[in-house]
């Protein structure tokens, strides 16, 4: 009797579980705020719909077959020697093959159209932001205005951004779900990611690769605003009393967690390349 009640409780418990998931950041994938995220949302939905071609009939048959072939249904013909059907063989082989072909073509096309290194076409110049994954924090370097920030970045709406991503610690991953395309940050390597925000707002950025102490606090704000608001943000960082000196950078290399946003002015213009070369046997940033 107890087992029977447990089985009946499973469905409402699962529904409650999914309702609680409604507040999770993962659902930002279905709230795109940029062209890359919108294209990826379309890819997820289309791929899911194609796979439902198999799932939905199976769910229907899992209910229909037990009902139709129940023991007290004497209207169905009893065929003890039945073992083969050309029609069934045709369906069970043809449908999966067509689904695999459709998913293969879709994957091939989107692998090129959604290549993270592919620049976004726009009449505005591309902004370059250098991203460094550190122990428990993210460092963003803006080469042109000469500023650097920790756990906060800003961009202009409808202006493409090229992120140059590396790591000064363990391997990590850089991800802004509302804008799309996660990419790995690895020591001694430079990855490139092109994104663009189509709506103003403050979007959550995060690390999605476990990297030890401080990982849970590796979150940052990605601010998409107008050009005037972005210029004000840059001016605030340029007027910061904190200079990104060698000593300040070494303090950022210390393991930490839940670091609040910080602004720095006058960073070393070669800092990003120095960090990469430090792990390839070149310069020593320490």
Question: Distance (Å, rounded) from C-alpha 147 to C-alpha 239?
Answer: 10
Question: Distance (Å, rounded) from C-alpha 70 to C-alpha 80?
Answer: 15
Q: What b/e readout covers 7-35, taking b as 16+ CB neighbours within 10 angstroms?
A: eeeeeeeeeeeeeeeeeeeeebeeebbbb
According to the model, what pLDDT value does residue 77 have?
Answer: 75
According to the model, what pLDDT value does residue 117 have?
Answer: 93
Q: What are 241's strand-pairing partners?
A: none
Going from the C-alpha of 36 to that of each of 5, 46, 99, 180, 200, the distances in angstroms are 46, 15, 25, 6, 16
User: What is the DSSP secondary structure assignment for residue 175, as one 8-state letter?
Assistant: B
According to the model, what pLDDT value does residue 71 have?
Answer: 78
- Which three-class secondary structure state does DSSP give residue 178? coil
Quick one: CA torsion of 177, 180, 185, 190, rounded to 10 degrees? -160
Nearest alpha-carbon partner for 173 in 187, 184, 189, 186: 184
- Across the chain, which has 286 residues, the per-10-residue mean pLDDT values are 48 53 59 92 91 90 87 77 88 92 94 92 95 94 95 96 94 94 93 96 92 87 96 94 91 90 92 91 55
Question: Distance (Å, rounded) from C-alpha 120 to C-alpha 126?
Answer: 8
Phi, psi dihedrals of residue 105, rounded to the nearest 5°:
-65, -45
Residues 6 or more apart whose Cβ sits within 8 Å of residue 192: 116, 117, 162, 163, 164, 165, 183
- Which three-class secondary structure state does DSSP give residue 277? helix
| The token pair that represents 260 in the structure block | 């609040």
Under 8 Å between Cβ of 285 and 264? no
According to the model, what pLDDT value does residue 2 have?
Answer: 41
| The token pair that represents 10 in the structure block | 């499973």
């Amino acid at each position: 009797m107890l087992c029977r009640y447990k089985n009946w409780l499973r469905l409402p418990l699962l529904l409650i579980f999914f309702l609680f998931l409604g507040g999770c950041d993962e659902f930002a994938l279905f709230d795109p705020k940029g062209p890359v995220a919108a294209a990826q949302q379309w890819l997820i939905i289309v791929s899911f719909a194609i796979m439902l071609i198999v799932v939905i009939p199976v769910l229907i048959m899992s209910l229909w077959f037990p009902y139709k072939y129940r023991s007290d249904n004497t209207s169905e013909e009893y065929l003890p020697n039945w073992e083969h059907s050309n029609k069934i063989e045709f369906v069970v082989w043809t449908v999966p093959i067509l689904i695999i072909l459709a998913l293969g073509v879709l994957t091939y096309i989107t692998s090129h159209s959604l290549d993270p290194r592919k620049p976004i076409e726009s009449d505005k110049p591309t902004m370059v932001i250098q991203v460094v994954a550190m122990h428990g924090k993210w460092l963003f370097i803006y080469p042109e205005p000469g500023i650097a920030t920790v756990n906060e970045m800003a961009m202009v709406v409808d202006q493409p951004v090229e992120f140059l991503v590396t790591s000064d610690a363990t391997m990590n991953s850089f991800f802004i779900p509302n804008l799309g395309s996660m990419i790995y940050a690895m020591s001694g390597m430079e990855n490139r990611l092109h994104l663009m925000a189509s709506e103003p707002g403050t979007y959550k950025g995060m690390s999605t690769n476990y990297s030890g102490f401080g990982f849970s606090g590796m979150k940052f704000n990605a601010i998409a605003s107008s050009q005037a608001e972005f210029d004000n943000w840059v001016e605030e960082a340029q007027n910061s009393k904190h200079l990104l000196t060698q000593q300040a950078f070494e303090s950022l290399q210390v393991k930490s967690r839940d670091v609040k946003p910080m602004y720095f002015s006058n960073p070393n213009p070669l800092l990003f390349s120095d960090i990469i070369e430090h792990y390839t046997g070149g310069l020593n940033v320490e």
